[in-house]
């Protein structure tokens, strides 16, 4: 009897061991779902977490977790929604908008978020010594441009006034119907001025105040860890005005520069949402795992920047020749295969009812004639051109096609330099390139968010190109009495941009990525921004 009982126990132990071994092991993703921890990939190490210095979409993705402006943008509609401001009203002439702040808005250290904090933050962002690249997005405010360019030094003249702690009156240079949408951009975010003063960081570009132990934000999450080139951890903020609606406990942003690593981590259950997807894997997911594949509309232009201060691209004819000798359809149809559209203009089509009439065709004969006129028949005399691209999933493939097309049709020798995002951006900012791949995501849904990029004083005009006629068209459009007149001026600006060719449009993007079905509240976003406060995790 004892022997039989012993055998029974032994068999039971073996069975339980076999069952445990055969059961599916819990992945990092499974554990994170239980704990409401969202695992995201971020394809680049941020240069800074100061929202007034964000220059890449990957930095904006972080800024909106830690900070919040007067408004946020709804993902599906791209329309402004109340955030720190619970309501606002505008005078009939469109020149004055008064925002009413939520009395329960708090910084992560418990300080109230006040109207004075916004005013102090905008004065900082406009300071010429601070030199914020996106300061021009504040030019809607009266005297902002003059203060930023040094023509005016009295910052009390800025069209931003705190009437009391919770009432903020903005006076504009001219009526701007999309002002609430502008206030959702990081350059408009408030920064706690008392924290800046504590660390002596009022005009410093990379100060200590952004370290996890020092940073104070007003967004739905707080930064609790930043391991460079590895991860950032955001933890739910108990002081956020709408903390009761935030269902995630943590977000872990994993720095992963390789889309292939991104995809492998997704399959291994180590990440919930990838930033992108290798081109070679798109068809496989379409066939075998369509539930995990997302392809969302995206207000993005991918283009080439010419450094117009360096030969041979000081010559407009050479720039136009390179642009005319691009077969954009081949790039989008045969190489990218993700639903991207060929871009024959810089401004995306059907943008708030606007589509440019001017187009750049593929015309190899015209391109060769222009090179000959410029003194480079058949490409003779041209130096080898180095094309700098970001080491992402699209730009290197695009560059390889351009290398072959320009060699065959123009006799141009092209080398390709793949750079990490930080270096790629810095080189463009410093004009440390001859030819560079580039990308731009609309800040809001309006043609001006693309066209004012190339004004002479634009902080993101990294081409060296300055054209007074173009500048004047953008100024006139801002003063136009109605949308019809405004759009007609944009048509002229679009045509001039293609004629002078400081840039060559290549394709309009889509956002193709992988997402775990347990991620809920992750809306398609035309502008690429997501409200993490609306996201939560729940297994199907």
Q: Give one DSSP letter per residue of 323-344, joined into a string.
A: HHT--HHHIIIIII-SS-EE-S
Rounded (10°) angle between helices 316-324 and 364-373:
160
* pLDDT, tens only, 237-267: 999 999 999 999 999 999 998 889 999 999 9
Terminal C-alpha separation, the chain: 49
Q: For the chain, give me the number of helices (H) and strands (E)?
A: 17, 18
Contact 118, 88 (CB under 8 A): no
pLDDT band at 337 (very low <50, low <70, confident <90, very high): confident
Q: What is the mean pLDDT of the chain?
A: 92
Helices (H), 114-258: 115-126, 144-149, 179-182, 193-198
Cα distance between residue 189 and residue 208, in whole Å: 19
Contact 298, 511 (CB under 8 A): yes
Contact 460, 451 (CB under 8 A): no
Instruction: Please name the residues in contact with 62: beta carbons below 8 A apart, sequence gap of 6 or more.
Output: 42, 46, 49, 232, 253
* pLDDT, tens only, 155-186: 999 999 999 999 999 999 999 989 999 999 99
pLDDT band at 309 (very low <50, low <70, confident <90, very high): very high
Contact 360, 505 (CB under 8 A): yes
Pairing of strands 85-90, 96-101: antiparallel
Contact 435, 340 (CB under 8 A): no
pLDDT of residue 202: 79
Q: How far is CA 489 from the centre of its chain?
A: 26
Domains identified in the chain and CATH numbers: 33-42+213-295+513-537 (3.40.190.10), 51-58+67-205 (3.90.76.10), 297-511 (3.10.105.10)
pLDDT band at 3 (very low <50, low <70, confident <90, very high): very low
pLDDT of residue 12: 43
pTM above 0.85, yes or no: yes
Instruction: Report the alpha-carbon angle 261-267-271, nearest 5.
Output: 70
pLDDT of residue 318: 98
Contact 144, 138 (CB under 8 A): yes
Cα distance between residue 488 and residue 477, in whole Å: 8
Cα distance between residue 246 and residue 43, in whole Å: 25
Helix (H/G/I), strand (E/B), else coil: 193:
helix
Q: Is the pLDDT of residue 18 over 50?
A: no
Nearest to 190 by CA among 136, 102, 114: 114
């Amino acid at each position: 009897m004892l022997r039989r009982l012993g055998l029974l126990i032994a068999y039971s132990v073996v069975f339980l061991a076999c069952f445990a071994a055969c059961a599916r092991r819990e992945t990092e993703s499974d554990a994170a779902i239980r704990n409401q921890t969202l695992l995201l990939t971020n394809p680049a190490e941020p240069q800074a977490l100061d929202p007034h210095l964000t220059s890449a979409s990957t930095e904006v993705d972080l800024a909106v977790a830690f900070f919040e402006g007067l408004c946020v943008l709804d993902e599906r509609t791209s329309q402004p929604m109340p955030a720190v401001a619970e309501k606002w009203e505008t005078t009939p002439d469109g020149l004055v908008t008064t925002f009413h702040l939520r009395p329960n808005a708090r910084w992560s250290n418990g300080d109230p978020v006040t109207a004075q904090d916004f005013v102090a933050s905008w004065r900082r962002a406009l300071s010429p010594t601070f030199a914020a690249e996106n300061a021009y997005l504040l030019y809607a405010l009266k005297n902002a441009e003059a203060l930023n360019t040094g023509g005016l030094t009295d910052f009390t003249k800025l069209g931003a006034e705190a009437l009391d702690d919770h009432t903020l009156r903005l006076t504009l240079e001219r009526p701007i119907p999309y002002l609430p949408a502008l206030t959702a951009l990081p350059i408009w975010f408030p920064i706690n001025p008392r924290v800046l003063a504590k660390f002596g960081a009022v005009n410093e570009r990379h100060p200590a105040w952004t370290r996890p132990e020092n940073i104070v934000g007003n967004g739905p999450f707080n930064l609790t860890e930043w391991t460079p080139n590895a991860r950032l951890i955001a933890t739910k903020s108990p002081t956020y005005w709408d903390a009761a609606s935030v269902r995630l406990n943590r977000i872990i942003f994993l720095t992963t520069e390789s889309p292939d690593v991104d995809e492998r981590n997704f399959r291994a259950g180590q990440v919930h949402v990838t930033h992108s997807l290798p081109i070679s894997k798109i068809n496989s997911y379409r066939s075998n795992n369509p539930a995990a594949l997302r392809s969302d509309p995206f207000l993005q232009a991918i283009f080439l920047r010419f450094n117009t201060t360096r030969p041979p691209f000081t010559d407009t004819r050479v720039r136009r020749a390179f642009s005319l000798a691009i077969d954009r359809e081949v790039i989008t149809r045969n190489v990218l295969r993700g639903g991207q559209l060929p871009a024959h203009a810089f401004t995306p089509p059907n943008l708030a009812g606007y589509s440019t009439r001017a187009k750049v065709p593929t015309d190899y004969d015209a391109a060769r004639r222009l090179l000959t006129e410029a003194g480079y028949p058949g490409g003779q005399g041209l130096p080898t051109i180095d094309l700098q691209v970001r080491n992402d999933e699209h730009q290197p493939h695009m560059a390889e096609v351009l290398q072959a097309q320009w060699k065959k049709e123009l006799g141009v020798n092209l080398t390709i330099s793949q750079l990490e995002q930080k270096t790629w951006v810095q080189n463009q900012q410093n004009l440390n390139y001859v030819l560079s791949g580039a990308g731009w995501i609309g800040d809001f849904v309006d043609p001006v968010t693309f066209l004012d990029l190339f004004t002479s004083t634009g902080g993101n005009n990294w081409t060296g190109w300055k054209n007074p006629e173009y500048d004047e068209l953008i100024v006139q459009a801002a003063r136009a009495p109605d949308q019809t007149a405004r759009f007609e001026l944009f048509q002229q600006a679009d045509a001039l941009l293609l004629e002078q060719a400081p840039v060559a449009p290549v394709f309009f993007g889509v956002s193709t990525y992988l997402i775990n079905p347990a991620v809920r509240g992750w809306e398609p976003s035309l502008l690429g921004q997501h409200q993490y406060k609306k996201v939560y995790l729940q297994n199907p």
